[in-house]
């Protein structure tokens, strides 16, 4: 269990880290969040995560609760206080506590800022990378603003649970035209039959993944053919390789989609090279 959490300006023993029952994050999912990867004590991609947080907040009519510099200090501090080497920092900002009413509070209230840190086991992650993971495909029933990293995640929860029940690691969400939008908590990629790296455009109602962008930046100019376009489940099943990206798993090979083997059914060489490249650059 984590040692301490940050809530509204204070570091508290993890067990006593609480928010009021009329916090708008709890009652309305009127809140957004970020997850930062921590690797060997270093926080990855701090600036892009904070930039995305700022954008998410702006899209729902909120400003940043404090400066980037101050948030950065607290992210680092929560890592130190929890003696985190490898793991994740979770940062959530809600509109604050207010008498229940769907509309924004008439007079501004103080936003709630919550931070927790949890360690992860690099050995366990290495095993997942070595074996690859299974994904299933489920209909994408989420709302029309998936570009906002909000905590209105019930659809994602139900999709992830469907995956877990099916023995899979992730659920790929499929739109009405049969195209994969993204995973329930990851971005989805394939290496196409022609050898191109394909991932959906962030203009198409998906989350602009920080790891996704970091990977694209890391391999720029390295000769990969990158196609930011939608791909269908049918195309994915015929792909040479498939993988997912997220702050919590970096680049993770997908070896089956709905039980159909992707390529050889083993983690692909391009995927593994991309993982190394990403970690060398960002981590």
Tell me which residues are annotated as active site.
Answer: 149
- Residue 21 or residue 280: which is nearer to a copy of itself going by CB? 21
Name the one range near a copy of itself by CB under 8 A: 42-50, 156-164, 212-220, 263-271. 156-164
Q: Please, are residues 94 and 188 in contact by the beta-carbon 8 Å criterion?
A: no
Q: Give the span between the Cα atoms of 124 and 277, in whole angstroms.
A: 20
Binding string, residues 110-149; x marks residues near a copy of itself by CB under 8 A:
----x-x-x--------------------x-xxxxx--x-
- Residue 84 or residue 114: which is nearer to a copy of itself going by CB? 114
Binding string, residues 73-92; x marks residues near a copy of itself by CB under 8 A:
-----------------x-x
Q: Tell me which residues in 13-72 interact with a copy of itself (CB under 8 A).
A: 15, 17-31, 33, 60-61
Q: Give the span between the Cα atoms of 170 and 185, in whole angstroms.
A: 8
Residue among 66, 109, 152, 196 that touches a copy of itself (CB under 8 A): 152
Q: Give the span between the Cα atoms of 84 and 155, in whole angstroms.
A: 31
Q: Please, are residues 211 and 262 in contact by the beta-carbon 8 Å criterion?
A: no
Q: Give the span between the Cα atoms of 51 and 251, in whole angstroms.
A: 21
Q: Please, are residues 91 and 38 in contact by the beta-carbon 8 Å criterion?
A: no
DSSP 103-138: SPPSS--PPEEEEEEEE--HHHHHHHHHH-EEEEEE
- Residue 29 or residue 232: which is nearer to a copy of itself going by CB? 29
Q: Please, are residues 68 and 59 in contact by the beta-carbon 8 Å criterion?
A: no
Residue among 120, 125, 153, 219 that touches a copy of itself (CB under 8 A): 153
Tell me which residues touch a copy of itself (CB under 8 A): 5, 7, 15, 17-31, 33, 60-61, 90, 92, 94, 99-100, 102-104, 114, 116, 118, 139, 141-145, 148, 150-158, 160-161, 163-164, 184-185
């Amino acid at each position: 269990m984590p040692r301490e959490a940050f809530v509204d300006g204070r570091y508290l023993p993890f067990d006593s880290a609480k928010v009021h029952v009329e916090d708008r994050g709890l009652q309305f999912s009127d809140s957004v969040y970020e997850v930062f990867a921590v690797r060997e004590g270093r926080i990855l991609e701090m600036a892009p995560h904070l930039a995305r947080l700022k954008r998410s907040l702006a899209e729902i009519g909120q400003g940043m609760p404090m400066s980037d510099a101050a948030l950065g200090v607290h992210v680092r501090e929560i890592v130190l206080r929890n003696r985190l080497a490898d793991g994740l920092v979770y940062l959530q900002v809600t509109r604050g506590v207010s008498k229940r009413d769907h509309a924004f509070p008439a007079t501004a209230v103080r936003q709630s800022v919550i931070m927790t840190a949890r360690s992860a086991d690099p050995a366990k992650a290495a095993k997942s990378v070595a074996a690859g993971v299974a994904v299933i495909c489920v209909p994408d029933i989420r709302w029309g603003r998936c570009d906002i990293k909000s905590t209105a995640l019930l659809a994602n929860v139900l999709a992830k649970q469907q995956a877990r029940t099916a023995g899979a690691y992730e659920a790929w969400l499929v739109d009405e035209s049969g195209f994969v939008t993204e995973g329930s908590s990851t971005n989805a990629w394939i290496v196409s039959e022609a050898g191109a790296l394909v991932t959906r455009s962030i203009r198409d109602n998906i989350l602009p993944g920080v790891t996704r962008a970091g990977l694209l930046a890391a391999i720029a100019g390295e000769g990969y053919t990158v196609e930011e376009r939608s791909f269908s489940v049918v195309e994915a099943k015929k792909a040479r390789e498939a993988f997912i990206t997220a702050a919590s798993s970096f680049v993770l090979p997908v070896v089956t989609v709905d039980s159909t083997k992707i390529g050889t059914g083993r983690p692909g060489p391009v995927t593994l090279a991309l993982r190394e490249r990403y970690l060398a650059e960002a981590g």
